[in-house]
Amino acid sequence: MTEKTSAAIDTFLIKYPRLKFTLAKQARQVRNELFFEEQQEAGNYEALLAFLEDNRASLQENSPELVPKLEEAVVKSFVKKYPAPSMRSLFALMNRYPRLSPFMDESMAKLVDRNPFVYLFEDQLRLIDNNYIPKTIQALYPYYACYGTPKAFERFYTHFPKMIDSVNYRNDFALAREVPIFRSSMSVEDYVQYIKKAGPSHRSFQAIQLLSQGLIQKQDWAALSAKISEYESYYQTPDPTLKGFREIVNAAAETVISSSFGDQVNTIDAEYSPVVTVDGQTVYFCRLVNGLENIYTAQKEGDKWGTAMPIKRFNSASNEAPLAVSADGNSLILFLNGQVMISEKHAKGWTQPMPFFTARQKSVWQGGTTISADEKVVIFAARRPDRVGLTDEDNTDLYISYRLPDDSWSRPQNLGTTINTPWEDRSPFLHPDMRTLYFSSSGHPGLGGLDVYKTTRIGDTWTEWSEPINLGKSINTAANDWGYKVSTDGTEAYFAKQIKNKKEEIYSLLLPDRARPQQLATIAGELLSLEGKPLNFSIIVEDMETGEPAGEIKPDPVTGKFFISLPLGKLYSYRVQEDGYYPISNNIDLREQTNQVSQLENIIVPSLVEMVDNNMAIPLKNLFFETAKFTIKPTSFKELERLAKLITEQALIVEISGHTDNVGSPAYNKELSQNRAEATRKFFIEQGIPATQIIAKGFGLDQPTATNETEEGRAQNRRVEIRFKLSAESNR
C-alpha cells in the first residue's frame, strides 16, 4: 500500500478482513489518525462530528488518546464555521462538551450581545466553571449592573461568584446598597451626588428624569435643556440615552390637537383601551364599573361617536378588555381574566371567547396584542424566559408569532434588542400598513415612565426594525403613556387620557407628520348578491406579481360591508371565493402610488346558475395583455388557471368575447379583439379544456359599456368578457 490516506487504509481493511487482531488494531489506529489530520486540515465540522459520534466506541477501544483531540477539533471547527451561531446550537455544543467551554467563550460572549436573554444564559451556565467563560460573564454583567439595585447584584453573585473581581462589581454593589431605591425624602443634592457617582447608566438617567418632572410639566424646555447640559458635565464619557433625552427636549414643539370621544362614550366611570376598526366606524373599549371591566362598543355617526352600548357576550362577572380587532372587523382579541382570548363575529353575535394561543406558546404573562392586516402575524407583549435582561416583574418584551398552515401559531420569537430593553416594553400596535409599529417603553430615551415610540419594519422580514423614534414632547409626558392605536389614514391616534381622581377617558389626537405611518390604499364597499342581499363570502387578496397571498377579508356577516387596506408599492388582485358562485375579481395597481388611495366599490356576486340563466357576461378584470398586442402577461396566469379549473369541474360551455375602445380603425380593433379572445381560448385549451367547449369572438369597438370620450371610459371598454352555458351532460 503506497497511498497513505484514511481512504486507502479503509480499502485495505475491507480487502483483508482476516488480519490478525493486533495488526488490524494498528491499521485502525493509523486510519483514525490520518482521518483526523485530513478533516482537521479541511476544517470540516460536520465530517468530524459524524466521525466522532458514529465511531466513539471504536475510537475508545483503538485510539483513546485521539478522542479528546477530536472533541477539541469539533468545537474549534464549529466556532470557525459558524461565527454567529444560534443560541440553541451553541448551547447544545456546550452541553455535549462542557470541558471545552473555553473554546466557545468568545462565541458565547458575542451571542450575549445579540440575544441578551440573561435567564437562559444563567440556566445554561450553572454547571460550567466560571473560569472557563470569562468573556461570556463579562458580557452578561452589564445586564445586571444596569438595574443598579442590590437585588440585581446579589443575583449576579449567586450565579457567578468567582467573577466579581473581573468586573466593577464591588463598587457598583456598594453604590446600590447606598441608594437601594429613590425615596421621596431625597433632596436634589442627593440625586445629583448619586448621578455623579453612578456615571452613565440607566438608573442614573432615571434619577435625571425624576429631577426633570417639574420642568416637563411646566414645559419649560429651555431651562430643562440647560439642566441636561449640566448633568452631562458630570459624566466622563458621553451617554447616548441622555443625548436622546436632550434631542427630544430641544426638538421644535408640534401642534397636537386632542379631543374627547364625547359624552356618548365617556362617562363618570373610567373608559380605556380603545380599539377602532380599520374603517374608523366602530370603537370597542373597556369600561370599569364598580371594579368590574366590561367591553362596550359605539358607532361613528357623521363626525361624532354615537351612544356606547354594552356587548352582551363581553359583559359578565369576568374582567374583559379589548386588545385588537382584525382588519375585516370579524375577530376580536381580548384580555379575559388575565388571559388573551379571541372571539369571532357571526350573524347572531360574538362567539364564546377561546384562548388565542395553545399551551405550546404559553407565556408567564401576556398582555397587549396586535394582529397584522393579513392575519398572518401577531405581535404581543409578554414575560417569557427569553426576554432582554433579568426576568423581573417589571421587564416585559415584545414578541412575534407567525400563523402556520394549520392555522395555529408558531413558537413566539423575541423581536430583538432594537426594540426590546431590560425594562418595560409593551402595548404594541401594528398599523394596517404592516410596516409601522407603535409601542410604549421605559427603556429607550424618553421623558419619564412609559413613552410612545414608532419603529418601521426593514425589508420583507419581521425581525429587522428601524431605531425607535420617540413621538416627542408634544405627545409624551413625564407619566406613563401607552395603549396608542393609530387610524388607517395615519392622521389620528386613539388613547385613554387620565383626567382626574385616576379616572380615564378616551381621546383622539391629530398626529404630526413625522409620527404618521406610511400611506395606504383602502377599498370599501358591500358584498351583495344579484338581489342586493348582503353576502358573507371570503375576499381573497394576492400580490399579482408574486402570487403570494396578501390577506383574506370577511365582510360583516349582517351588512355585507367590507374594508380592505393595502400597503402601497404593489399590484394586487382581490376576488370573491365561495362554492357555486362566480369568483368575481378586480385589481388595484399601487406600484407607482405615493399618496393615500381610497376606492369605493360594491361587489355584486352572481351564482353560476344565475350567470347561465341570465346569459351574463362578466369582464375578466385580472386579464392583462401587452400594449396593443394579444400576448397575455404572466400576472394573468393564476387568475386564468383558477377559471380553467372551475370550467372543468362544472363542465361549462364558455363564450369568450373581446372588445376594444375606439382608438384606431374599426378593422384594426376587430382583429385585435378577436386575437385577444383567441389567446384566452388557447390558454384554457392548454389547461386541458376541450376546444369544443370554448367559443371565441372579437367585437372590436361595436359594444362599448362606457363613453370613449374619457380615458377611464376607454379603459372599461378594453375588455375580455366571459359567459357560461351548461353542457348537455351537466346536471343543475
Instruction: Please check whether residues 535 and 668 belong to one and the same domain.
Output: no
**What pLDDT, on the 0 to 100 scale, is given for residue 52?**
76
Instruction: Please check whether residues 393 and 459 belong to one and the same domain.
Output: yes
Instruction: Please check whether residues 348 and 468 belong to one and the same domain.
Output: yes
**What pLDDT, on the 0 to 100 scale, is given for residue 1?**
46
Residue 584 resides in a domain: yes
Looking at the chain, the whole-number percentage of residues with pLDDT higher than 90 is 78
- 214: containing domain: 182-250
Q: What is the DSSP letter of 166?
A: G
Instruction: Please check whether residues 614 and 601 belong to one and the same domain.
Output: no
- Tell me the per-residue pLDDT of 391-405, one tens digit each, with 9 for 90 and over: 887 899 999 999 999
113 CB-contact burial (10 Å; exposed 0-12 / middle 13-18 / buried 19+): exposed
Point out the domain boundary residue: 605, 623, 650.
605
Residue 684 resides in a domain: yes
CATH value at residue 588:
2.60.40.2190
Residue 99 resides in a domain: no
Instruction: Please check whether residues 454 and 599 belong to one and the same domain.
Output: no
Residue 96 resides in a domain: no
Instruction: Please check whether residues 591 and 670 belong to one and the same domain.
Output: no
Look at residue 679 and tell me whether its pLDDT is greater than 80.
yes
Point out the domain boundary residue: 568, 589, 605.
605
- Tell me the per-residue pLDDT of 237-278, one tens digit each, with 9 for 90 and over: 999 999 999 999 999 989 899 999 999 999 999 999 999 999
- Asked if 486 and 261 count as a contact pair (C-beta separation under 8 A), the reply is no
The C-alpha atoms of residue 232 and residue 239 are separated, in whole angstroms, by 8
- Asked if 90 and 104 count as a contact pair (C-beta separation under 8 A), the reply is yes
Instruction: Please check whether residues 525 and 640 belong to one and the same domain.
Output: no
Residue 26 resides in a domain: no
**What pLDDT, on the 0 to 100 scale, is given for residue 63?**
72
| Mean pLDDT score, 710-729 | 87
Instruction: Please check whether residues 381 and 435 belong to one and the same domain.
Output: yes
Burial 165-200 (b: 16+ CB within 10 A, else e): eebebeebbebbeebeeeeeebeeeebbbbbeebeb
Dihedrals phi, psi of 512, to nearest 5 degrees: -65, 160
Instruction: Please check whether residues 211 and 277 belong to one and the same domain.
Output: no
Q: How many domains does the chain have?
A: 4
Closest CA to 298 of 319, 271, 337, 326: 271
The C-alpha atoms of residue 211 and residue 589 are separated, in whole angstroms, by 53
CATH value at residue 496:
2.120.10.30
**What pLDDT, on the 0 to 100 scale, is given for residue 515?**
95
- Tell me the per-residue pLDDT of 489-537, one tens digit each, with 9 for 90 and over: 999 999 999 887 768 999 999 999 999 998 999 999 999 999 999 999 9
Averaged pLDDT of the chain: 91
Residue 647 resides in a domain: yes
Q: What is the DSSP string of 306-347?
A: ---EE-GGG-SSS-EEEEEE-TTS-EEEEEETTEEEEEEEET
- Asked if 390 and 119 count as a contact pair (C-beta separation under 8 A), the reply is yes
Residue 215 resides in a domain: yes
Instruction: Please check whether residues 309 and 453 belong to one and the same domain.
Output: yes
CATH value at residue 678:
3.30.1330.60
Point out the domain boundary residue: 515, 530, 564.
515
- Asked if 658 and 696 count as a contact pair (C-beta separation under 8 A), the reply is yes
Residue 715 resides in a domain: yes
- Tell me the per-residue pLDDT of 6-18, one tens digit each, with 9 for 90 and over: 566 566 555 556 5
Instruction: Please check whether residues 313 and 403 belong to one and the same domain.
Output: yes
Instruction: Please check whether residues 404 and 467 belong to one and the same domain.
Output: yes
